[in-house]
Amino acid sequence: MVRKTAWKILHNLAQIKRELILLLTMALLFSAILYIFHFSFKPSMPPENMFDAVVNQMRSYYITACGHSGNGNQNTAKQTTATAAPTVTKHISLHYHVAHPLNYHFILDEPDKCSQWDPFLVLMVPVAPHQLEARNAIRSTWGNEITVKGKAVMTLFLVGLTGGSDSEKAQQQLEEESRQHRDLVQSNFVDSYFNLTIKTMVIMDWLATRCPQATYVMKIDTDMYLNLGNLMTLLLAPNTPRDNYITGVVMRDRSVIRNKNSKWYVSEELYPEPKYPTYLLITGYVFSNDLPEKIVEISKVIKAFNIEDAYVGACLKHLGIAPSSPPDPSQFRMHKGQYNRKVFLRIISTVVGSPQQIMDVWKDVKSSR
């Protein structure tokens, strides 16, 4: 009797085991079918484009990040090597949109440069990784001036990650360039037009965490001619504020472009208002160095969109800071027009175009002094 009961128990256990195995097999098979069904209806995409697409999803505004408490000092949350993971503080869960710099770390960095130079003015130049000619043109012209009117000036270039099949070679070239010039900062976002807001916010973060001692900053594009003497005259004027100050080409009452065929298209989902707040044109604007930390902090609660200068304007609006028109607005030019030496002797910045044109204009203006 006991033997029969034991046999029955073993038989039931074996039956249960078979049923569990069957259930697990069916669950795995069902998951595989769902996986195949999900991806079979998506267009094919090369691996590098797939990676870009994931990184570039600024339209899914928020990702969950466990990070520090958001006190504005992010030195401990940054790493300077590509292999190191960002510092994580447990039990603190905050939502940061994809443009927030806490989501990125620096691969190439110059964390001690400001403490060594103690600059009055920092020129931050966003540039694509492949634009070596543009960087060299700036290094041989206005980026080569380290003292203007007795004040120290420092120039840095900020790049993101390269894409494509030759990305490893391109990265090696950037690292060699960094060793040679010590003026490159690189962060681990994909460098693309759509990610310019990320690029701008990473610049703000670098200034806030690596260079708080500077007094002023100019964010300026690579196709610009810059007259540092005239800029320094503006910054040293007794009526130029040293706090909550930003100036350049002021853009007011600009409508948001809803045409999906435009490179400046922004959906209502990303930015619902029909018009942007007042902002400074991306080509070149100057600001007091107390602003980067404030902009990074307020950006935590402002949805990111892909028009980076307008996004900075949105941050300023939330901070209650209005962009200032320069004393002479004609000194910040949107277009080069026909070259005129007398005009270029009194402007601060203007678009000129190619690296060769920057060098030609620089040489001609300098020769007239």
The confidence score (pLDDT) of residue 22 equals 59
Say yes or no to pLDDT of 43 above 60.
no
- Residues 314-349 pLDDT 10s: 999 999 999 999 999 999 998 877 888 999 999 999
Cβ burial of 201 (10 Å; 0-12, 13-18, 19+) is buried
The confidence score (pLDDT) of residue 213 equals 97
Long-range CB contact pairs, 355-360, < 8 A, 24+? 355/133, 355/134, 355/136, 355/137, 355/222, 356/137, 358/137, 358/138, 358/141, 358/223, 358/224, 358/225, 359/137, 359/140, 359/141
* Domains detected in the chain: 47-101 (no CATH), 106-367 (3.90.550.50)
pLDDT band at residue 308 using 50, 70 and 90 as cut-offs: very high
- Residues 138-184 pLDDT 10s: 999 999 999 999 999 999 999 999 877 788 999 999 999 999 999 99
Side-chain half-sphere CA neighbours of 351 within 13 A: 9
- Residues 50-101 pLDDT 10s: 333 333 333 333 332 322 223 333 333 333 333 233 333 233 234 468 898 9
Q: What is the pTM of this model?
A: 0.76
pLDDT band at residue 19 using 50, 70 and 90 as cut-offs: low
DSSP-assigned letter for residue 332 = B
Distances (CA, A) of 17 to 6, 10, 20, 24, 264: 17, 10, 5, 11, 61
Closest CA to 245 of 275, 204, 221, 215: 215
Q: How far apart are the first and last CA of the chain?
A: 115
Please state the separation of Cα 231 from the chain's center in Å.
Answer: 24
